[in-house]
Amino acid sequence: MTVQERFLNYVSYWTTSDEDNMTDAGARIPSTERQFDLGRVLEQELGGLGLREVTLTDHCYVYGLLPATAGCENRPAVGFISHMDTAPDFSGQNVKPQIISDYNGKDVLLAGSGSYLKVSDFPSLADLKGRTLITTDGTTLLGADDKAGVAEIVTAVEEIIASGQPHGDIWVGFTPDEEVGCGADLFDLDYFKAAFAYTVDGDYEGEVAYENFNAAGASFSVKGVNVHPGEAKDIMVNAALVACELASMLPADETPAHTEGRQGFFHLTDMQGDVSSASLSYIIRDHDKTSFENRLNMLRTLEAEMNRKYGAGTVTLTIKDSYANMLEIIEQHPHVIEIAREAITSVGLTPLSRPVRGGTDGARLSFMGLPCPNLGTGGYGFHGPYEHITVEGMQTAVRVIREIVRITAERE
């Protein structure tokens, strides 16, 4: 089966995770039962290819092992990981891909919504001229994040088997709930016995990313005092207005809309309330660890200031760490990056390493003891109706995976 056929099959499964399916003890994994639909397909497919140790866990993690070929048993075991869920930001149900052969490099009509995928918004589209472009129809996301990665890994393994390519142990792992920050929570490193691994969950072809945000979620809960407005003088505390005041006290130019590269931000994701109660939800991001801690301390200072102004217990701040910058771990294992860069160069691309303005399962797995940078899938515009990818980009990712396996098997 080709990588295109696999990808189109995988995106037909509705696997959206649910960020609201949380408890005080953490996320229920998987957050949606529908993720098992794709998990069962992958379990059967890996078994059909002849992998060993294939399992689908009760928490919807899929693992498999392609044992080393003769003479390579002592080479380091390498792993490849992708996630099965799609982002809850936009619908992932009833995906209707548009397949455009010999793409002309111009704006693309998304037939389901009537909107356009525009070159002015995505300048990289011009570089995809002449390829087979796959887009959404504008009514859903596509699911290339990260079903492209899943398809690329499975296809690479199938090609390795069919070609008789020598290799050490190759572990593959597919996770649920990465999009809601829980993909690595129950990843079993006692079962998945790779020396190092790569998440195949990036965008640009030739990307090997190993520097990501430090990340946390933060929420302010505001308790108001609600009395009749005619008798409210010096009594009423309007929780909604306090929430607005809180939001206004954070730097206006330190939001996602005004930052890039390694610049961090405060991102207000949800705000609701009335006179009696209100809440604000933020995600906090920064590449620099000190700056990240300063951001969290700024929130703590705001909590204290507002309680001094409006009374103790008016504002309650809750902070939950999400993931940390994997750079400090990867720097201790430079060979993992060297192998990826050599592989990318060998397929004719210039390796691209940028600070990732997000995170992957690999960031947390690195801190769990499995060095795990991120490889590009060839997809763009993730998490919305403008998501797109090319068949050629996916084929390149397959070749990069195979080259990583080759280089690992040949290194002493």
Please give the positions annotated as active site.
85, 178
DSSP for 261-285 reads: TT--EEEEEEEEE-SSEEEEEEEEE
Q: Which two tokens stand for residue 318?
A: 């809750």
How far is C-alpha 219 from the chain's CA centre?
22
Torsion sign over Cα 295, 296, 300, 302: positive
Return the SS3 of 196.
strand
By CB atoms closer than 10 A (0-12, 13-18, 19+), residue 402 is buried
C-beta separation of 157 from 42 below 8 A? no
Give the pairing of strands 22-23 and 26-27. Answer: antiparallel
C-beta separation of 78 from 408 below 8 A? yes
Which of 374, 34, 80 minimizes the C-alpha distance to 209?
374
Torsion sign over Cα 279, 357, 292, 336: positive
Whole-angstrom Cα distance, residue 54 to residue 49? 10
C-beta separation of 323 from 359 below 8 A? yes
Within 10 angstroms of residue 343's Cβ, the number of other Cβ atoms is 25
Within 10 angstroms of residue 275's Cβ, the number of other Cβ atoms is 17
C-beta separation of 387 from 380 below 8 A? yes
C-beta separation of 106 from 119 below 8 A? yes
C-beta separation of 81 from 91 below 8 A? no
Query: In degrees rounded to 5, what are phi and psi of residue 186?
Result: -120, 20
Query: In degrees rounded to 5, what are phi and psi of residue 67?
Result: -65, 155
